[in-house]
Structure 1
């Protein structure tokens, strides 16, 4: 009987059914443990961002990855501690003051809208009634978030400490074992299809790589550029408004307008204005500053930081933002654009397969095509590894 034993082989239908069941169970499982995912997601993003640096240092010096990861932790910890001690008390105080001032600002706004129900531009009369609810709602939301989240951040609970430790540990192991993870991902692909799938993974990786790094750089640049004029114009809560404006820049279309609206609303009721400006003149000046910086961002910063990789029609961008916010809240807003760009890449690939069209040359999709040979999935972020 032993000689008649044969291994179990799945039919084509059985493979698809098994795969669907496994994927479904994973989705249900992740949905049930959503509350513990943030440190793991943060660790994956951090390791993704810093893995090329660690790999490059390891290759150039021959020093083990573990040593360079420890050095990275020490340097990053020192920088964050310095920034924390220098800026955090001001951020917390200004956040609390802004949250406490929100009811007064809302009352003043209500009176202002009652006195200015419409704007006359030549023969055109524009009603401000629809704008009133939107502006007051935005200020209420910002004030509620500040009053609810800043104390939570300042006075960390035990759960936050545990999550921080989990984040640091997972990040360390992801950075340490990046080459093995790359090889593991590579071996998951059947050998005949490895190069083609790797090329698709390379395109996806470049989108995420450019978008995530670009957005982090963009937040810093725009926060600094906005803090300078806000400070010169003596706008209250300048530091918090500048940082909030920088963060809101990551939300295309919606974010910049919201950031400008917050700054202009605060300036409208600013008790003391500099250089003999009236509050209305100050608001107009701030609007011009935000508009000019937005143009600089669109035409100089974004093209040089992100490049042309995230190529989406403006209508698709708006749809992606709304869909991301509806499906996953604030996090969905943040990832909606790169996810939409990835979907575009995948749909283009599937369309070529369904219509039996040949794959385009590597240079047609990629500014810098993957090296010859057999690249691994995610080569853009992991190619620096030995």
Structure 2
């Protein structure tokens, strides 16, 4: 810089204005390109979930990250290919059968409600006509949706193929450069505050990682546990119902009730009823199965998978679910609880700052450990040649 000149320095006021403008422009930008964001969001989540595994494999074997990422890609391809060959035809067949059976199911619903316009329970008279209309509407809509979407599920569009390729490429590079990205994000924080902010980030990471991994594992566990009894009871479309029920588990409160309702509705109109049960008896057995598995899930599976990291009051959970659904639909429901837990962590941090309380013991890496990590990341390795 020549003599007599001086660098431009922003005052605190202009720094705040600049930050606000950048944030506003970023939000507007992402709103306009939101239709291309799904593969990038999926890649970020996938890399976030599998980075610990890749790091552990690299440390245990001394082999490069690129090699293990390629191995995981091959294993994932073989797994999904096997599932596609084995399960996909069954799902397509059962889904198509459900779409074709929708008109017959409408007639069965009407026959079921004939002569049952009202029922009396404990002195209260319940009109069943609105329930009949709603059930018929749901079945018709479901049949229309399935008949229109099954071909789309079978024959993927070119856009979907492109999105999958983008997702795989971005995931690969995020996993490959995970250490450098972590160091880059840490260097954005001023050195005096790095350890404190790192501790806060560690708490947030623990909540998100436990919740997301737990939910994915929960889908698999509940789908398998539900498919076994449903197939034994010869419930039609058992595989589709089990997979749908397991997937609905990711929606708090609403999901399990919806899953049970779908299964019970299917059994009410089942023609081939095993073990000498009536239609209502079979529906009651399925309801008991769902209720029992829900209790096992709440008291054994979830505490062991997710642990006590979320720690939210039930009233806060309900509010978070309603707010998440209103703001973000199904995706908002899925992330409502971990976001509420993160908000709790941030509010607790801000409260300690405002009341001048001491910080709890830090669990983040120390500055010396971060410097050691940066030094090791900067050293060239032979395995990194795979990137070029």
- TM-score, normalization: structure 2? 0.89
Larger relative CO (CA 8 A, sep 6+): 1 or 2? 1
Is the CA contact (8 Å cut-off) linking 1:223 and 1:246 kept in structure 2? yes
Alignment of 1:182-201 (within 5 A): 182-201=182-201
Equivalent in the alignment of 2:258: 258
- Please list every run of 5 or more consecutive structure 2 residues that lacks an aligned counterpart in the other structure: 374-380, 382-388
* Change in 2 beyond 3 A, CA 1:19/1:268: same
Q: Which segment is superposed worse, 242-251 or 306-315?
A: 306-315
Aligned 8 A contact 2:54 2:65 in 1? yes
Spell out, residue by residue over 1:168-211, the C-alpha distance to the aligned partner (whole angstroms, 9 max, x if none): 10000000000000100110111111111111111110111001
What SS does the aligned partner of 1:273 have?
coil
Q: How many Å apart are 1:353 and its aligned residue?
A: 1.8
Cα RMSD between the aligned structures? 2.3
Contact 2:195/2:366 (8 A) holds in 1:
no
- Partner Cα distance (1:104, 1:136) in 2: 11
Secondary structure of the equivalent of 1:327? helix
Question: Alpha carbons of 1:312 and 1:125: their partners in 2 closer, same or farther (altered >3 Å)?
Answer: farther
The yes-or-no answer on 1:325 pairing with 2:325 is: yes
Instruction: Tell me by how many angstroms 1:127 deviates.
Output: 5.1
| Alignment check: 8 A CA contact 1:139 1:262 kept | no
Q: Using a 3 Å threshold, how does the CA distance of structure 1 residues 345 and 104 change in structure 2: closer, same or farther?
A: farther
Count of aligned pairs between the two proteins: 372
CA separation in 2, counterparts of 1:175 and 1:115?
Answer: 63
Query: Which residue number corresponds to residue 25 of structure 2?
Result: 25
In structure 1, C-alpha distance between the alignment counterparts of 2:360 and 2:144, rounded to whole Å: 50
Aligned to 1:280: 280
Give the C-alpha shift of residue 62 in structure 1. 1.2
- Answer yes or no: is the 8 Å Cα contact 2:215–2:250 preserved in 1: yes
Partner-residue secondary structure (3-state), 1:4: coil
Does the aligned pair in 2 maintain the 1:195–1:374 contact within 8 Å? no
- Over alpha carbons, which structure has the higher Rg? 2
Q: Summarize the alignment of residues 1-386 of structure 1 with structure 2, pairs less than 5 Å apart.
A: 2-113=2-113, 115-126=115-126, 128=128, 135=135, 139=139, 142-361=142-361, 369-370=363-364
User: Which residue in 2 is equivalent to 1:365?
Assistant: none
Unaligned ranges ≥5, structure 1 = 363-368, 380-385
Deviation at 1:22, TM superposition (A): 0.5
Q: Residue 282 of structure 1 aligns to a residue in which SS?
A: helix
TM-score, with structure 1 as normaliser: 0.90
Query: Following the alignment from structure 1 to structure 2, what is the Cα–Cα distance between the partners of residues 325 and 144?
Result: 25
CA distance in 1, matches of 2:216, 2:150: 21
